[in-house]
Homo-oligomer: A and B are copies of this chain.
Amino acid sequence: MSNIEQGHDVAKAPGDSGAIVISIDAMGGDRGPEAIVDGLALAAKESPSLRFILHGPEGILAPLLAARGLTERCDIHHAEGVVTMHDKPSAVMRNGKGTSMWSAIESVRAKEAEVAVSCGNTGALMAVSMIRLRKLPGVNRPAIASFWPSRNPTGWNVMLDMGADVKAEAADLLTYGLMGTSYARNALGLTRPRVGLLNVGTEEHKGHAELKAAYDMMTKAQDAGQFEFIGFVEGNDLPSNRVDVIVTDGFTGNIALKTGEGTAKLVSELLREALTASPLAKLGALLAMGPLKRMKARVDPRRANGGVFLGLNGTVVKSHGSADATGVAAAIELAARLARSGFSAKLAARVASASVSGQDAPQGEETSEKVS
């Protein structure tokens, strides 16, 4: 890694002067660094107090920043290497040191930035985050949390794990519930989120043994953990107003996420075909365009862009690999929101308090003032 950290002192550490610094991996997205710098420009315009550290080849990034008038608000950490979508996580762990992804995580580890954002290879990003940031005390398996469009007042549910680990024991599921609670409080502003365990039925006797054990643990932990445990939920509850945080293992979560995406894509493709099927239908689509556009925006996956890695010493936002400028900006804005709320520290305190106090400790009410 040959970081030429020019202008590095310009970027303030969080809390240093109140300026929030976001670390951004400029490479590894499907659309190249232009889309990422365009997204950065959108987010920078939206939030004038944000500062950025951009990681990647300086010769490429400096002109892109200059052209958008962003030179003053961004540091560049030079990194030649790029992690591709085909690189195996294990190989990146061994040889990834000179890459923009590694460098982006390094800025969080060194506390130069509060949160890192990357559009790159999910498995590699999780692997690098794990070895550089390390797991939080009390966390056995970190998780990826995503937003899910729903009938909730905020328009979103939180679901985790979306694929950090294909397995989860009962204790991991409880930790996911606590981390999801903290995330829903800080990202969605919910005081006492409703947490549900994803299962194949809502009756207590259904599902795997780990799910039944997690059911009991969550029932006991809900008061200390400041969430409302609503029991088992099913796949069709995911977009509902019954639940705010949906807990599942990474295998099931990843398949549910992609199934939902695939279904929404099929329906929207069929809708587009229907609305261009005849001149009359085209005219109809034109007349209904306003509400149709608002509907499209409502479920636009770009608005929900950003899976968040939870359970590490530092927060990492994983943007979709194919994110365009709008998507990248949404991921950066999510990162900024989490940074402003001091999310990393709050999450750490919540997980630590649960593992210290036990899952049914009465002193839960006392800690409620401190963590979120």
Please report A residues at the B interface, Cβ cutoff 8 Å: 88, 149-151, 163, 166-167, 198, 200, 205-208, 234-240, 248, 250-252, 254-268, 270-271, 273-275, 277-278, 280-281, 283-292, 294-295, 298-299
Contact among B151, B273, B299 with A267 in the assembled complex (CB-CB below 8 Å): B299
Q: Decide: A283 near B287, CB < 8 A? Known: A258-B235, A261-B235.
A: yes
Q: Roughly how many angstroms separate A255 CA and B254 CA in the complex, as a whole number?
A: 11
CB of B255 within 8 A of CB of A239, answer no
Q: Roughly how many angstroms separate A141 CA and B369 CA in the complex, as a whole number?
A: 51
Q: Decide: A263 near B239, CB < 8 A? Known: A163-B200, A255-B252.
A: yes
- Copy tally for this chain in the complex stands at 2
Q: Roughly how many angstroms separate A88 CA and B206 CA in the complex, as a whole number?
A: 11
A220 to chain B, nearest CB (A): 24
Contact among B200, B239, B294 with A250 in the assembled complex (CB-CB below 8 Å): B200
A239 to chain B, nearest CB (A): 4
Name the CB-closest residue of B to A287. Answer: B284
Residues of B contacting A239 in the complex (Cβ-Cβ under 8 angstroms): 262-263, 265-266
Contact among B237, B270, B291 with A277 in the assembled complex (CB-CB below 8 Å): B291
Q: Roughly how many angstroms separate A205 CA and B207 CA in the complex, as a whole number?
A: 27
CB of A262 within 8 A of CB of B274, answer no
Q: Decide: A275 near B259, CB < 8 A? Known: A251-B207, A251-B208.
A: no
Q: Roughly how many angstroms separate A28 CA and B290 CA in the complex, as a whole number?
A: 44
CB of A292 within 8 A of CB of B268, answer no
Q: Roughly how many angstroms separate A113 CA and B240 CA in the complex, as a whole number?
A: 41
Q: Decide: A281 near B274, CB < 8 A? Known: A235-B258, A236-B261, A259-B236.
A: no
Q: Roughly how many angstroms separate A115 CA and B176 CA in the complex, as a whole number?
A: 45
Residues of B contacting A167 in the complex (Cβ-Cβ under 8 angstroms): 208
A290 to chain B, nearest CB (A): 7
Name the CB-closest residue of B to A255. Answer: B235
Residues of B contacting A277 in the complex (Cβ-Cβ under 8 angstroms): 290-291, 294
Name the CB-closest residue of B to A289. Answer: B284
Which of A237, A250, A275 gathers most chain B CB within 10 Å? A275
Name the CB-closest residue of B to A259. Answer: B235
Q: Roughly how many angstroms separate A260 CA and B278 CA in the complex, as a whole number?
A: 29
Name the CB-closest residue of B to A89. Answer: B205
19 contacts between A and B (CB under 8 A): A150-B266, A167-B208, A200-B254, A207-B251, A236-B258, A238-B262, A239-B263, A255-B255, A259-B259, A267-B268, A267-B299, A270-B299, A271-B271, A274-B294, A275-B291, A275-B292, A277-B290, A284-B284, A284-B289
